[in-house]
């Protein structure tokens, strides 16, 4: 089978690494990929958001399946494009249709979905510039801190948490009236603050059946002790100790089942990953958000723990027979530590030469922001490399990743040395 994987980050390198291990793969292409995916497949310079270019590549290279890593092509309707194009409609694309992708593409849509299907989430209301005054009144019914979310995609920056009511009013005005996040904040969801500990739960669904993948916890802040600015994610751990059987049963009954049933009831054609961002509030799970893709860097710990052939899983997603595939999970702990560029998540330099990759032992290095320059690997993003290791426990896995974090070098290397700190007893 020939597969085209779309994307270029650490998530895609982890997916490509796993796909390349399948006995059923003949050719694996990654569009556009990075210096790491090049070692497990063939990078192709096709812009994933140029659907005609994707179509031409798929037709010209005998592609049998397309796997979409990031959300942008899904939100833009790549699945619908394939379904509506006669020459493509028999080629499965792993990912939801455009309306399904709105679970991530619009906060209001996803909140309405949760309310309609009685899925536990924070109380909320949505406002536009015309209802600014009502937004102020709604803020007064909530307690501090105040959570404001731009309705649309805002590159992970669209959520503001304000301690003071005055600050929340100013930010709400700035989002709605001054277009702080462009058109993404033409509408703003204001919601109740949930106090607890977060985790990420991943579901693979064929629209009818589902598999719950190993849960993971990611570390979003740049600074140790979860301080400083939000990033795409600085590290991750799987499994998550507090996500025990009792908790996961609640997640399955109260959240996963009604989510998959809700998609069916709403006639949303959804064949792909659902990433459920959860808050554990005193042992009770609440949905913070849905994403319509895998998480990054969570993929770098979740995928290495999946023993089942990914092609078998994806094929079952395509023909709605996921109930007939067994999901086998590695019981070991996997952790990943993200090496980033100095300055990230603000401005940073690119193009710095990375050394020591050949000296890494007993970890898998997934490339996030790298590029190949005539055999040299250069930094090409804020998040550069994710160093994943297995261990009998979290401490063992982390020791291994940290040892290799010292071995890899480039100018301006930074990483958090406290991944998992909140999970240690």
Q: How does 218-233 read in b/e, with b if 16+ C-beta sit within 10 Å? A: bbbbbeeeeeeeebbb
CB of 140 to ligand AMP, least distance (A): 17
Residues composing the chain: 425
Q: Which does 298 bind (CB under 5 to 8 A by kind): ligand AMP, ligand GLY, none?
A: ligand GLY
Q: Which does 193 bind (CB under 5 to 8 A by kind): ligand GLY, ligand AMP, none?
A: ligand AMP
CB of 232 to ligand AMP, least distance (A): 11
Q: Which does 194 bind (CB under 5 to 8 A by kind): ligand GLY, ligand AMP, none?
A: ligand AMP
Token pair 């100013």 is found at 170
Question: Which 198-227 residues touch ligand GLY, going by CB under 6 A?
Answer: 218
CB of 414 to ligand AMP, least distance (A): 21
- Number of CB atoms found within 10 A of residue 137's CB: 12
Cα gap 95→22, rounded to integer Å? 20
CB of 197 to ligand AMP, least distance (A): 10
CB of 212 to ligand AMP, least distance (A): 19
Residue 153 or 172 having the CB closest to ligand GLY: 153
What is the CA 306 to chain-centroid distance, rounded?
A: 17
Residue 12 in contact with ligand GLY, rule: CB under 6 A: no
- Number of CB atoms found within 10 A of residue 143's CB: 8
Size of the site for ligand GLY (CB under 6 A): 6
Residue 298 or 315 having the CB closest to ligand GLY: 298
CB of 231 to ligand GLY, least distance (A): 9
Cite the beta strand spans of 243-399 per DSSP E: 270-281, 284-291, 333-341, 364-367, 370-373, 376-379, 383-391
Residue 54 or 189 having the CB closest to ligand AMP: 189
Beta bridge partners of residue 413, listed in sequence order: 341
Q: Which of these ranges, 168-176, 288-296, 365-373, 379-387, lies near ligand GLY under the rule CB under 6 A? A: 288-296
Q: What are phi and psi of 342, to 5 degrees?
A: -50, 130
Given a contact cutoff of 8 angstroms between Cβ atoms, the answer to whether 42 and 30 are in contact is yes
Q: Which of 9, 95, 215, 233 binds ligand GLY (CB under 6 A)?
A: 233
Residue 64 or 111 having the CB closest to ligand GLY: 111
Angle of helix 165-176 relative to helix 132-140, nearest 10 degrees? 160
**Helix (DSSP H) and strand (DSSP E) numbers for the chain:** 13, 23
Q: Which does 218 bind (CB under 5 to 8 A by kind): ligand GLY, ligand AMP, none?
A: ligand GLY
CB of 176 to ligand AMP, least distance (A): 18
Q: Which does 77 bind (CB under 5 to 8 A by kind): ligand AMP, ligand GLY, none?
A: none
Given a contact cutoff of 8 angstroms between Cβ atoms, the answer to whether 303 and 328 are in contact is no
Cα gap 383→342, rounded to integer Å? 10
Binding site for ligand AMP (CB under 6 A): 122, 147, 149, 159, 191, 193-194, 198, 277, 288-289
Q: Which does 58 bind (CB under 5 to 8 A by kind): ligand AMP, ligand GLY, none?
A: none
Residue 195 or 326 having the CB closest to ligand AMP: 195
CB of 215 to ligand GLY, least distance (A): 13
Q: Which helix (H) or strand (E) holds 317?
A: helix 310-318
Helix (H, G, I), strand (E, B) or coil at 265: helix
Cα gap 337→235, rounded to integer Å? 4
Cα gap 30→24, rounded to integer Å? 17
Residue 5 or 288 having the CB closest to ligand AMP: 288
Q: Which does 288 bind (CB under 5 to 8 A by kind): ligand AMP, ligand GLY, none?
A: ligand AMP
CB of 291 to ligand AMP, least distance (A): 8
Question: Which 289-328 residues touch ligand GLY, going by CB under 6 A?
Answer: 291, 295-296, 298
Residue 12 or 296 having the CB closest to ligand GLY: 296
- Number of CB atoms found within 10 A of residue 15's CB: 28
Cα gap 100→81, rounded to integer Å? 14
- Number of CB atoms found within 10 A of residue 46's CB: 20
Cα gap 393→352, rounded to integer Å? 34
| Residue ranges that bind ligand GLY, judged by CB under 6 A | 218, 233, 291, 295-296, 298
């Amino acid at each position: 089978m020939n597969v085209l994987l779309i994307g270029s980050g650490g998530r895609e390198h982890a997916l490509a690494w796993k796909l390349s291990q399948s006995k059923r793969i003949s050719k694996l292409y990654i569009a556009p990929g990075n210096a790491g995916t090049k070692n497990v497949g063939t990078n192709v310079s096709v812009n994933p958001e140029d659907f005609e270019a994707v179509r031409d590549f798929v037709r010209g290279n005998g592609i049998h399946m397309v796997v979409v890593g990031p959300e942008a092509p899904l939100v833009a309707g790549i699945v619908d494009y394939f379904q509506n194009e006669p020459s493509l409609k028999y080629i499965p694309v792993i990912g939801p249709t455009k309306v399904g992708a709105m679970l991530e593409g619009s906060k209001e849509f996803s909140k309405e979905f949760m309310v309609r299907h009685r899925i536990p989430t924070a109380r909320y209301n949505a406002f536009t510039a015309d209802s600014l005054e009502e937004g102020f009144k709604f803020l007064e019914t909530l307690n501090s801190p105040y959570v404001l979310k731009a309705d649309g995609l805002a590159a992970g920056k669209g959520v503001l948490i304000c301690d003071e009511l005055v600050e929340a009013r100013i930010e709400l005005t700035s989002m709605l009236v001054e277009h702080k996040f462009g058109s993404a904040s033409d509408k703003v969801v204001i919601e109740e603050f949930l106090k607890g500990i977060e985790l990420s739960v991943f579901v693979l669904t064929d629209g009818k059946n589902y598999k719950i993948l190993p849960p993971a916890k990611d570390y979003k802040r740049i600074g140790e002790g979860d301080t400083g600015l939000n990033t795409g994610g600085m590290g991750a751990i799987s499994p998550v100790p507090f996500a025990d059987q009792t908790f996961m049963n609640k997640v399955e009954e109260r959240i996963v089942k009604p989510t998959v049933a809700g998609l069916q009831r709403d006639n949303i054609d959804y064949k792909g990953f659902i990433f459920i961002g959860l808050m554990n509030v005193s042992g009770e799970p609440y949905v913070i958000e849905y994403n319509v893709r895998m998480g990054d860097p969570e993929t770098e710990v979740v995928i290495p723990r999946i023993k089942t052939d990914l092609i078998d899983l994806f094929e079952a997603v395509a023909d709605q027979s996921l109930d007939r595939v067994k999901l086998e999970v590695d019981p070991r702990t996997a952790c990943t530590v993200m090496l980033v560029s100095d300055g990230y998540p603000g401005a940073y330099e690119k193009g710095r030469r990375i050394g020591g990759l050949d000296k890494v032992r007993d970890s898998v290095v997934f490339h996030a922001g790298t590029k190949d320059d005539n055999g040299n690997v250069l930094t090409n993003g804020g998040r550069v490399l994710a160093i994943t290791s297995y261990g009998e426990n979290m401490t063992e896995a982390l020791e291994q990743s940290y040892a290799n974090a010292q071995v890899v070098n480039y100018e301006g290397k930074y990483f958090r040395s406290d991944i998992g700190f909140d999970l240690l007893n």
